Chain A
Amino acid sequence: MTQKEALTEYLLRLADSDMILGQRLCELCGKAPALEEEMALMNVALDLVGQARNWYEYAAELIDDGRDADKLAFRRDAHDYRNLLLTEQPNEDYAVTMGRQFFYDAWHYFTLKSLVNASDERVAAIAAKALKEVTYHLRRSSEWVKRLGDGTEESHRRMQDAVDILWRFTGELITPDETDRLMAEAGIGPDPEQLKEDWRGLVKEVLQEATLTPQPDDAWMYLGGKRGEHTEHLGFILAEMQFLQRAYPDATTW
């Protein structure tokens, strides 16, 4: 793998993860537990899809085969999608929604914090803007995990269930593969060991404050998203999200 290929792959992971999580949040439109949450969820989704667009645009330039950001988002099938499995998991209840968000935000935050210093200026610039947004996302989702974990008996039970349901998808966030290593070596991506340590440290701290129990570090982990092997959910997400582009392939403007 050349460095350019690795960077392209890496950009698609960032873009696809943002896009798919943003899509999941869009599904909650009109269904949030309070009007304030309605605004906040859409705000986070808006940030994520906006970031996805920036990453896609850069990826499209590197791929340079005539496809633009929209084509990358709306015309690739599941096996070409590189999002983290965590992001495609269903919303379920608000504990799962917020647990998923928190695990992702923690990864996203430390990743971007490293990317702002990337040797690639374009990556650094996109990351700098995204980091401001994600700093807020992380604060918000951490607060919710604490509220639900240390709220009522019911919310505690639901939040602990959410942690248990989602845990197996978190290994992928901190298990590096060749692309991750190449990006770290190129001075673009975060150092995998550092990322793992930071993510685990923060997650343990927040879960502890939330009176929740994490699963062991050596728990079995479900991997595959980064190489295009997804859970069954992604196909349905894309069927919905890409409907118009697929149903009207001749349309060049919308």
Chain B
Amino acid sequence: MYAQLVETGAKRVKSLDEMSPEERAFQEKIDAEVKIEPKNWMPEGYRKTLVRQISQHAHSEVVGMLPEGNWVTRAPTLKRKLQLMAKIQDEAGHGLYLYSAMETLGADRDEEIEKLHQGKAKYSSIFNYPTLNWADMGAVGWLVDGAAIVNQVVLQRTSYGPYSRAMIRICKEESFHQRQGYQILLDMMREGTEEQKQMVQDAINRLWWPALMMFGPHDDESPNSQQSMAWKIKRKSNDELRQMFIDQTVPQLEYLGCTAPDPDLKWNEETGHYDFGEINWQEFYDVLKGNGPCNRERIKTRKNAIDEGAWVREAAVAYAKKQKQRAEAA
């Protein structure tokens, strides 16, 4: 789940009777599970919401490279280094792929990136947390990619064709990342030293709650969800997805031999789900507003990369122009 609190601009969902004929035809198509393609008519709100959601998702992939980049120079073995490099490369690829999907909606990649650098666009809150020990590379793969998959598997059926197809491709790679991440933790827990085991538990303690926050606020605090659900941009509610994630993750946590930093986490025989404690929502909103541990650093790094690379991009454009002129003159 790399998109949180995506603004739809709608105060409430219109009924079919209230819609214009175009809107109604559009909604009926969505209700019939027909994919919307770039050249189809779509309500402006739908287009804008998708641009916001897909760009958030793309930004998250790109900013998400940074917490891993923090360890790629310190990976402990050749195998782990290669795995982490491949994962980071995949993420850059996902970013590119998602920006392309977004551009089919008439948005411009550079403009959206500029909004990110000005602090006007969101990306997943999770990437504002620091990666402090090597086990974080396992925990990020397992919990963060794991949470992302829970959401993205559902988004494979999202109503917008290019986004849906991007999700299908991305999910395959994310599942691979998640297994790799879990394996890092499992190897350390099974064959590692006491210090390594402590690293694993420490990583889980720090990343557990932020991973749960990735699903966004409670459903009743999520005013945009209803419209997104009606448009099938979103297919399951935040709380439903969070519960799915917890239910699948807790057995994996136990298999590791680790614990979650949540005294209220326990199996509920009646509901057939795990109960869990309340998320610290103040922290969630603080991070979203820019007051997480690494918000400033993440944006600064991305902004510097693009600003300091301006002369490189300009040179590439100038060279291409010269080449074209030479070809025409020849």
Q: A interface vs B, CB < 8 Å? A: 23, 26-27, 29-39, 42-43, 45-46, 49-50, 52-53, 56, 69-70, 73-74, 93-94, 146-148, 150-152, 154-155, 158, 240-241, 243-245, 248, 250-254
State whether A240 touches B312 (Cβ < 8 A).
no
Interface of A is mostly: helix
Chain A: minimal CB distance from B195 (Å): 6
Q: Which of B89, B308, B311 contacts A39 (CB 8 A)?
A: B89
Q: 21 A-B residue contacts at CB 8 Å?
A: A23-B73, A26-B69, A26-B73, A27-B73, A29-B69, A29-B72, A30-B65, A30-B305, A31-B301, A31-B304, A33-B305, A34-B309, A37-B309, A38-B92, A52-B78, A70-B79, A74-B76, A152-B315, A243-B74, A245-B77, A254-B80
State whether B92 touches A39 (Cβ < 8 A).
yes
Interface residues of B in 14-72 (CB under 8 A from A): 62, 65-66, 68-69, 72
Bound-complex Cα distance A148 to B319 (A): 8
Additional A-B contacts beyond A37-B312, A151-B316 (9; CB < 8 A): A33-B310, A35-B62, A46-B82, A69-B78, A74-B76, A151-B314, A244-B76, A245-B76, A254-B187
Decide yes or no whether B302 CB sits under 8 A from chain A: yes
State whether A244 touches B134 (Cβ < 8 A).
yes
A33 touching B319 in the complex, CB below 8 Å, given contacts A39-B89, A39-B92, A74-B76: no
State whether B314 touches A155 (Cβ < 8 A).
yes
Bound-complex Cα distance A70 to B313 (A): 38
What residues on B are CB-neighbors of A36 within 8 Å? 96
Q: Which of B80, B184, B196, B311 contacts A248 (CB 8 A)?
A: B196
State whether B309 touches A155 (Cβ < 8 A).
no
What residues on A are CB-neighbors of B99 within 8 Å? 35
What residues on A are CB-neighbors of B309 within 8 Å? 32-34, 37, 94
Q: Which of B92, B96, B134, B322 contacts A254 (CB 8 A)?
A: B134
Decide yes or no whether B290 CB sits under 8 A from chain A: no
What residues on B are CB-neighbors of A32 within 8 Å? 305, 309
